[in-house]
């Protein structure tokens, strides 16, 4: 009963717009499971996709567009055309698909945790700085873990995602249990945050257990979802995409490049 009362108070405070601090990760309740401060690129932890595509997104994901620099993971997106090669022996695609023959108008980067780092439940946090340009679609999210047998759902938790044709203080969160028509908007929630721009450094996190997910930005909760149904181990993904709708895509006439920076990622367990 006490837990239900506390949860009800949290929900009321969020709806009323009052800030609630994140759970103390230094307390005896939490233990750091793993972290990466990107002092180097840890190939034992991360897969970098190469010559991969995702759904109807117009970019191709290349390993050359991901690197570590000055203590940050860097993901670059640009509008140089790239042709999908015929040789497939060295491609890394994992949660995506192989590129198809033809030329892609944009290239970008995608990293995801490898199978030994599949996790379910805990506190997942990253400090990120995103670019802002029409058509860009940066995201920090989860998907069903590599090699997870008999998965009950797709386990996609969008910790955050932004769309470059919208205001720079516009944040979206989502849950995907499946991908049938209508599932993309069923669990979508959007927020226009005061004094916020995703071009600045921010921390983005979820607190996740079997019964609820709480989303945080800069240690403040913005959303609570109960009875979410995502219980399978997941991989963690960071990528920078181009929006699928052609009318929102950036212009291709002159060369540009944009970069998404990740300072660290930390995963805690109870």
121-153 pLDDT per residue, tens: 999 999 999 999 999 999 999 999 999 998 888
In a domain, residue 9? The reply is: no
Can you give the pLDDT at residue 24? 55
Can you give the pLDDT at residue 89? 65
In a domain, residue 11? The reply is: no
In which region does residue 122 sit, left (phi positive, over 0), alpha (psi from -120 to 50) or beta (all else)?
left
More confident residue, 53 or 14: 53
Average pLDDT over residues 179-200: 87
Pairing of strands 66-69, 170-176: unpaired
pTM, 2 dp: 0.89
More confident residue, 216 or 251: 216
In a domain, residue 59? The reply is: yes
Residue 179 pLDDT > 80: yes
Percentage of residues of the chain with pLDDT beyond 70: 89
More confident residue, 182 or 63: 63
Q: How far apart are the C-alpha atoms of 90 and 99, rounded to whole Å? A: 13
Q: How confident is the model at residue 30 (pLDDT cuts 50, 70, 90)?
A: confident
In a domain, residue 52? The reply is: yes
In a domain, residue 250? The reply is: yes
Count of domains forming the chain: 1
Beta bridge partners of 136: 242
Range of 244's domain?
25-269
CATH number at residue 158: 2.60.120.200
């Amino acid at each position: 009963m006490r837990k239900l009362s506390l949860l009800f108070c949290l929900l009321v405070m969020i709806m009323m717009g009052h800030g609630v601090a994140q759970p103390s990760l230094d307390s005896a309740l939490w233990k750091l499971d793993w972290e990466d401060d990107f002092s180097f690129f840890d190939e034992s932890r991360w897969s970098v996709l190469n010559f991969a595509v995702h759904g109807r997104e117009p970019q191709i994901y290349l390993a050359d567009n991901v690197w570590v620099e000055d203590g940050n993971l860097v993901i670059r997106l640009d509008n140089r055309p790239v042709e999908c090669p015929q040789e497939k022996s060295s491609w890394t695609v994992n949660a995506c698909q192989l590129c198809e023959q033809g030329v892609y108008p944009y290239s970008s980067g995608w990293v995801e945790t490898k199978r030994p780092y599949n996790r379910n439940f805990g506190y997942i946090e990253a400090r990120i700085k995103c670019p802002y340009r029409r058509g860009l679609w940066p995201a920090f999210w989860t998907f069903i873990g590599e090699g997870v047998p008999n998965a009950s759902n797709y386990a996609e938790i969008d910790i955050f995602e932004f769309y470059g044709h919208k205001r720079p203080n516009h944040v979206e969160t989502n849950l995907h249990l499946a991908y049938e028509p209508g599932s993309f908007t069923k669990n979508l929630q959007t927020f226009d945050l005061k004094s916020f721009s995703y071009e600045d450094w921010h921390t983005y996190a979820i607190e996740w257990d079997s019964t609820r997910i709480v989303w945080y930005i800069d240690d403040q909760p913005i959303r609570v979802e109960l009875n979410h149904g995502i219980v399978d181990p997941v991989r963690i993904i960071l990528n920078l995409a181009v929006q699928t709708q052609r009318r929102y895509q950036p212009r291709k006439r002159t060369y540009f490049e944009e970069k998404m920076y990740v300072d660290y990622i930390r995963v805690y367990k109870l």
